A = this chain, B = another copy of it.
């Protein structure tokens, strides 16, 4: 009867989560102002989304003040990893390695990025021994 696996956020929800991760706990107004910089999203649209996200358990709401304060329930990295696991499952036959290799192939990464990845590989290999 505990909480079930969090649902995969939709595109709009992900945009809102992005703001929450960046700003920390925020009011609807905060989120709306941030999102409206380069889009056209109505205030009540953001509010409704946040209400739905609360029901889904994607965000947590603090109602102690008049303007409710929302924050993401799951960390950015955790959510990202969840999305990657999902995508690997749905489109890469469950293989995260295939996903990584495909992501690398389709890019012209610069040297420093490649080095960062290489170092990460070293770390991982060290741990697995």
Contact = CB atoms under 8 A, between A and B. Distances in A.
Interface of A: 11, 14-15, 18, 77, 79-81, 83-85, 87-88, 90-93, 96-97, 99-111, 113-114, 116-118, 120-121, 124-125, 128
Contacts of A128: 108-111, 114
A125 B118 CA distance: 11
B118 A91 contact: no
A80 B109 contact: no
Contact of A83 (B91, B93, B114): B91
Given A109-B124, A111-B128, A128-B108, A117 B102 contact: no
Given A80-B92, A83-B91, A105-B120, A111 B125 contact: yes
Nearest to A97: B113
Given A83-B91, A90-B11, A91-B80, A104 B100 contact: yes
Contact of A96 (B83, B109, B125): B109
Contact of A118 (B14, B18, B106, B118): B118
